[in-house]
C-alpha cells in the first residue's frame, strides 16, 4: 500500500525560502511519477511541479517556474520541494502526489499537471507566507 507523508510546512515571510518533504512507502519508488499540488482556501487544486526520474522529465507550474525546484532521493524514497522568493500568494496547503502506474515513454507526460492522474495523495502541509 502506497503511503505519502508531507512535512516541513510553516509560517515564513515574503522573500524567504522553505523546503518541504514527502516521505513515501510501498512499491518501487524510482518508477513513480511524483508531483506537488497546492490548494488555497476557496480555490481549486493547482499544479506546482512534477518529476519522473525514469523518463527524465520535470515540469513546473507557470506561477512557480524559476522559484521552486522539485527533487527526489530514490534511496530514501523522498521527494522535496525547495521554494525560494516566496510570495503571499504561495500560501496554501501543499500536497504530495504519486502515480505508480507503468507507462510507455510516449504517454509518460500525459496529464502530468492534472490531479486525476495521481492515485495517491498525502495529507498535506500548510505553507503560509506573510507580507
Q: Residue 25, Cβ neighbours under 10 Å: how many?
A: 11
Indicate the average pLDDT of the chain: 95
Task: Count Cβ atoms within 10 A of the Cβ of residue 118 and give its class: 0-12 exposed, 13-18 middle, 19 or more buried.
Answer: buried
Mean pLDDT over 47-70 rounds to 96
Report pLDDT for 27. 84
The alpha-carbon radius of gyration of the chain (Å, integer) is 14
Amino acid at each position: 500500500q502506497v503511503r505519502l507523508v508531507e512535512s516541513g510546512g510553516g509560517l515564513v515571510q515574503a522573500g524567504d525560502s522553505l523546503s518541504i518533504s514527502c516521505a513515501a512507502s510501498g512499491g518501487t519508488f524510482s518508477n513513480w511519477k511524483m508531483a506537488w499540488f497546492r490548494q488555497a482556501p476557496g480555490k481549486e487544486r493547482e499544479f506546482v511541479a512534477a518529476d519522473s526520474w525514469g523518463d527524465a522529465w520535470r515540469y513546473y507550474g507557470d506561477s512557480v517556474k524559476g522559484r521552486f525546484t522539485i527533487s527526489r532521493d530514490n534511496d530514501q524514497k523522498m521527494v522535496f520541494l525547495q521554494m525560494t522568493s516566496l510570495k503571499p500568494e504561495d500560501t496554501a496547503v501543499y500536497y504530495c502526489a504519486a502515480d505508480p502506474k507503468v507507462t510507455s515513454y510516449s504517454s509518460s507526460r500525459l496529464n502530468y499537471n492534472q490531479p486525476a492522474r495521481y492515485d495517491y495523495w498525502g495529507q498535506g502541509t500548510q505553507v503560509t507566507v506573510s507580507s
